Amino acid sequence: MILNVLALPGDGIGVEVTREAVRVLQHVAAKWNHQLNLSEGLLGGIAIHKTGTPFPEETARLAASADATIMGAVGLPEFDNAPPEKRPEKGLLGIRAALGVYANLRPVRAYASQIESSPLKNHLVEGVDMIIVRELTGGIYYGTPRGISGEGAETRAVNTMTYTRSEIERVARMAFQLAGPRRKKVTSVDKSNVLENSQLWRRTVTELSREFPDIELDHMLVDNCAMQLVLNPKRFDIVLTENMFGDILSDEGAVIAGSIGMLPSASIGAQRPSGAWVGLYEPVHGSAPDIAGQNKANPLGAIGSVAAMLAYSFRLKEEAAAVETAIEAVLESGQVTADLRPTGAPATTEQVGRAVCAAIG
């Protein structure tokens, strides 16, 4: 198969973890005889330095012609007080919008060897395996009118939570499709006891569920979901929710797995006729300026994002499973970075990347 992949390392540890993700991708391509056509582009702080803008046109062009994009992270402390248009993070919103990736998938898995790193008790965490599907391009983060007006005690701020039926349907359809090969359970999360927006959400998801009679659907209010994620995380298979609820719940889900450096994510858009999805793959973490350039960042979130890319954008299930199994083997071997608190000397970012390749074989 021909794999046209764009790498956007970005800033800080994004560069280091993307290097290892690419190493693993190259290893997989060589082992399974795929032709990997890899290009590299600028995004974030480095793009501002080199071109004056966080999301250069050349990067948009490269992303449009690639089958899938792997991204590191963006953000440099020197831009912390810059105007919004000149901030590295603007590049993130730019590429997500350009690719039209409307669903953010965050797998949350408890690895047996990492259970001690979770703040929850072992018996609650063991066996957790869910995917949080967050709508990514609608809702209150994008709705208008928005803004702050007026003065003094009458100063007023407005945000608007808005969804159309079609926006809800497309992300819900993805959630039902993802549940098929898994435990066949979708939990749709909303606040329908208070918000009309959530009432439309619930009605639309319920209607769509008739197309998927083998998938069990239940609905949960977001406040209860926040509690159940801690009380009984094993009950969840696919969690489907809107943008802001998903933003909050997915960070709650993140701590279940231990370190933030472990967590992959996939942002998915249109489905091609082959069934493969347009996708943007990135670890959940940021550019971590505190440890950047020290070869000690955990690359497993970025490498897990490669597994997601192989599965969703190339439909290469065997290769994706091999990467996931290798991650598990490396975790069990104890050759891990400092954030996972190894008993011996911590491994470097590069050593972990090479260990994953060795475990793939």
Q: Check residue 305 for interaction with ligand NAD (CB under 6 A).
A: no
Q: Is 261 helix (H, G, I), strand (E, B) or coil?
A: helix
Residue from 90, 191, 237, 281 carrying the catalytic annotation: 191
* Among 297, 320, 322, 356, contact with ligand NAD (rule: CB under 6 A): 297
Contact predicate 152/117, CB 8 Å: no
Rounded Cα gap, residues 94 and 79, in angstroms: 17
Task: Show contacts of 318-325: CB within 8 Å, 24+ apart.
Answer: 318/32, 319/28, 319/32, 322/28, 322/360, 323/24, 323/28, 323/356, 323/360, 325/359
Query: How many residues are recorded in the chain?
Result: 361
DSSP 347: P
Backbone φ, ψ for residue 48 (5° rounding)? -65, -45
Q: Check residue 313 for interaction with ligand NAD (CB under 6 A).
A: no
Using the rule CB under 6 A, give the single segment among 245-253, 267-275, 283-291, 320-328 that binds ligand NAD. 283-291
Pick between residue 230 and residue 255 the one whose CB is nearest to ligand NAD: 255
Q: Check residue 118 for interaction with ligand NAD (CB under 6 A).
A: no
Q: Pairing mode, if any, of strands 68-73 and 185-190?
A: unpaired
Question: Beta-carbon neighbour count of residue 61 at 10 Å?
Answer: 12
* Nearest residue to 17 (alpha-carbon basis) of 293, 255, 250, 290: 293
129 among known catalytic residues = no
190 among known catalytic residues = no
Using the rule CB under 6 A, give the single segment among 149-157, 191-199, 296-304, 310-318 that binds ligand NAD. 296-304
247 among known catalytic residues = yes
Q: Pairing mode, if any, of strands 68-73 and 277-283?
A: parallel
CB of 324 to ligand NAD, least distance (A): 18
Token digits for 211? Answer: 């197309």
Q: Check residue 94 for interaction with ligand NAD (CB under 6 A).
A: no
* Among 298, 313, 335, 348, contact with ligand NAD (rule: CB under 6 A): 298
* Among 3, 131, 288, 347, contact with ligand NAD (rule: CB under 6 A): 288
Q: How many CA atoms lie within 13 A of 33 on its CB side?
A: 0
CB of 291 to ligand NAD, least distance (A): 4
Using the rule CB under 6 A, give the single segment among 34-42, 240-248, 266-274, 289-297 that binds ligand NAD. 289-297
Q: Check residue 261 for interaction with ligand NAD (CB under 6 A).
A: yes
Residue from 129, 142, 234, 247 carrying the catalytic annotation: 247
Q: Check residue 167 for interaction with ligand NAD (CB under 6 A).
A: no
Crossing angle for the helix pair 300-312 and 317-333, nearest 10 degrees? 160
191 among known catalytic residues = yes
CB of 131 to ligand NAD, least distance (A): 18
> Known catalytic residues?
141, 191, 223, 247, 251
Q: Which residues of the chain form contacts with ligand NAD (CB under 6 A)? A: 13, 17, 73-75, 89, 92, 260-261, 282, 285-291, 297-298, 301, 337, 339
